[in-house]
Amino acid sequence: MTVSQGPEPPAAGAPDPAARPGPAEPRLLACGDSAISVDFGDHIDPGLNARVVALDAALCDLALPGVLETVPTYRSLLVHVDATMVDFPALCDTLRRLARRTHAQTMSRRRWRVPVVYGGAFGVDLAALATDRGMRPADFVQAHVQSLYTVYMIGFMPGFAYLGGLDPRLATPRRREPRSSVPDRSISIGGAQSAIGSLAAPSGWQLIGRTPVRACMPGRSPVFLFEPGDEVVFEPLSEDAWPALDAAASAGEIVATLEEP
């Protein structure tokens, strides 16, 4: 997986990406002799991402010999294969057939309710971001928690979840100078996206909060909590409630709530 912090949102005045229709059938691009990229478009769009997630699920259900791994992204699915076992033309035909069959399917989504302590030492950029918008910090938090987010992609660090659905009023460019390290499990904003962090790492994203939820935890089942296509709702958590939930999560408990959408 390419280490990336995700694409930037379109520039001001650019056409709305959601207004541009995706292709009826994806492009299939060979990535050497060991992978195929199934490319549904060239922009971030919920409809394109839903097609990626649907194709990923359909392909995994087939359990085809020689298909080693699938990596869903914003608008494409990377299919890793064993070149000694796979007939490339036949696999391409299968991918096109599955893409057509899953195009109109409605995916059954999981919805996670994720607790977050906002602001202060838990989200050092929140106060300044709110001031820049003429908002009180409490109003900024309220706008953030009122959105329903979709996990578009997992990447950059193990378990790091890129989220679509951010209120446009809160969209903020990344910092000019990235921090050398940000706390693990940070809730952040980068351009038109929000994110749930996993491990401590360098980042230029704007930090607005932190969750006790471990998105990635070796030895726990499941190791990775979030999957592309999941929905996320954030829930404010008081600083006083942090120690108990953090301790429970550290012991392997999943402190995010899974509910029916």
pLDDT tens, position by position, 124-169: 999 999 999 999 999 999 999 999 999 999 999 999 999 999 999 9
Q: Is the pLDDT of residue 8 over 70?
A: no
> Which pLDDT tens digit goes with each residue over 69-79?
999 999 999 99
Cα–Cα distance for residue pair 149/166, rounded to 1 Å: 7
Residue spans in the chain of domains classed CATH 2.40.100.10: 111-259
Q: Is the pLDDT of residue 107 over 70?
A: no
Nearest to 107 by CA among 150, 166, 69, 146: 150
Cα–Cα distance for residue pair 244/91, rounded to 1 Å: 50
Q: Before 173, cis peptide (omega within 30)?
A: no
Q: Is the pLDDT of residue 83 over 70?
A: yes
Of the candidate CATH numbers 3.40.50.300, 2.40.100.10, 2.130.10.10, 3.40.1620.10, the domain formed by 111-259 belongs to: 2.40.100.10
Residue 47 token pair: 């409809």
What is the pLDDT averaged over residues 31-46? 91
* CB-based contacts of 229, cutoff 8 Å, min separation 6: 49, 50, 53, 57, 72, 107, 109, 110, 150, 151
Cα–Cα distance for residue pair 217/223, rounded to 1 Å: 5
Cα–Cα distance for residue pair 13/1, rounded to 1 Å: 32
% of the chain beyond a pLDDT of 70: 88
Is 107 in contact with 52 (CB distance < 8 Å)? no
pTM of the model: 0.83
Residue spans in the chain of domains classed CATH 3.30.1360.40: 24-102
Q: Are strands 67-72 and 111-118 parallel, antiparallel or unpaired?
A: unpaired
Class of the domain covering 24-102: alpha beta
Cα–Cα distance for residue pair 162/155, rounded to 1 Å: 8
pLDDT reported for residue 45: 85
